[in-house]
């Protein structure tokens, strides 16, 4: 607005007036980034002179869909990146213009990886725009046989299944930070009330804690954290938040909540 650039913020992109407003701009190129609505075919086929392109936060054809950053972390990928591609009717299936990759750090969360990919997007989009300006933008078809899909995430997806292996749970806790978050439930022995406990990274595998306990059972509570049995190595939780309370490091949390060895997370 400060530079007299028109800003349209339509509630529904398919509204005929919205499409007329975009058409009136007479665009050479339409660029879509992190837009949550499906585009009508006329927008990406008929309106721009050159192309309608999208920036997607994965190395396509892997992790098409709504949650590619979380999927890369959850699945244990060693690298990810961004893809600039042509938009087609099928979601994230268009011909690719270019890709840029980066390694995934073992401590990355969805938030930290999002920020790295946002920084990577700037040179990727700049390069793509220069290619169009020079008339040299490639169209590389995706290998649809290698495509994977990641659907929209919901809060319930963050419920931890303690019968999974420890490394898988640890990745899930990082992958779903900050949305949708990960959580477990615990029954307060005094009130017999079931309480939701939100779990935050880091979670630390603890192979030095011997156990034959059932998955989800609390093994130890100490300043280092709360160690819980999984189907493999025990996992130590360092930061928690009970519903209606503040997020706390494990030692502070334990001073106000009677978690004890032998109790069960569900």
| pLDDT value of residue 15 | 95
| pLDDT value of residue 1 | 93
- Whether residue 120 is preceded by a cis peptide bond, meaning omega within 30 degrees of 0, is no
The angle formed by the CA atoms of residues 48, 50 and 52, to the nearest 5 degrees, is: 60
| pLDDT value of residue 226 | 97
Dihedral sign of CA atoms 112, 114, 118, 120 in order: positive
Distances (CA, A) of 160 to 39, 73, 184, 242: 35, 15, 6, 15
| pLDDT value of residue 211 | 78
Which regions in the chain score pLDDT beneath 70? none
| pLDDT value of residue 253 | 95
| pLDDT value of residue 6 | 85
Residue 210: CB atoms within 10 A of its CB come to 8
Tokens describing residue 125: 């989009």
Distance CA 114, CA 57 (A): 8
Of the candidates 37, 40, 63, 64, which has an alpha carbon nearest to the alpha carbon of residue 52? 40
């Amino acid at each position: 607005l400060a530079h007299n650039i028109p800003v349209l913020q339509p509630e529904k992109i398919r509204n005929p007036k919205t499409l007329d407003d975009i058409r009136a701009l007479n665009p050479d190129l339409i660029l879509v980034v992190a837009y949550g609505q499906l585009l009508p075919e006329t927008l990406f086929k008929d309106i721009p002179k050159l192309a309608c392109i999208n920036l997607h936060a994965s190395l396509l054809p892997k992790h098409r869909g709504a949650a590619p950053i979380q999927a890369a972390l959850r699945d244990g990928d060693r690298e990810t990146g961004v893809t600039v591609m042509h938009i087609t009717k099928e979601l994230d299936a268009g011909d690719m213009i270019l890709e840029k990759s980066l390694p995934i750090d073992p401590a990355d969360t969805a938030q930290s990886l999002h920020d790295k990919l946002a920084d990577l997007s700037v040179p990727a989009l700049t390069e793509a725009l220069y290619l169009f300006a020079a008339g040299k933008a490639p169209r590389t078809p995706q290998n649809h046989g290698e495509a994977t899909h990641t659907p929209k995430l919901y809060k319930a997806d963050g419920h931890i299944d303690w019968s999974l292996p420890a490394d898988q749970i640890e990745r899930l806790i990082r992958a779903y930070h900050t949305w949708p978050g990960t959580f477990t439930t615990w029954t307060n022995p005094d009130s017999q009330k079931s309480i939701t406990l939100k779990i935050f990274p880091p979670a630390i595998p603890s192979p030095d804690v011997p156990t034959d306990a059932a998955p989800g059972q609390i093994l130890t509570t100490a300043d280092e954290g709360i160690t819980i049995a999984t189907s493999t190595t025990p996992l130590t939780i360092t930061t928690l938040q009970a519903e209606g309370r503040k997020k706390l490091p494990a030692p502070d949390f334990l001073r106000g909540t009677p978690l004890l060895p032998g109790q069960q997370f569900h």
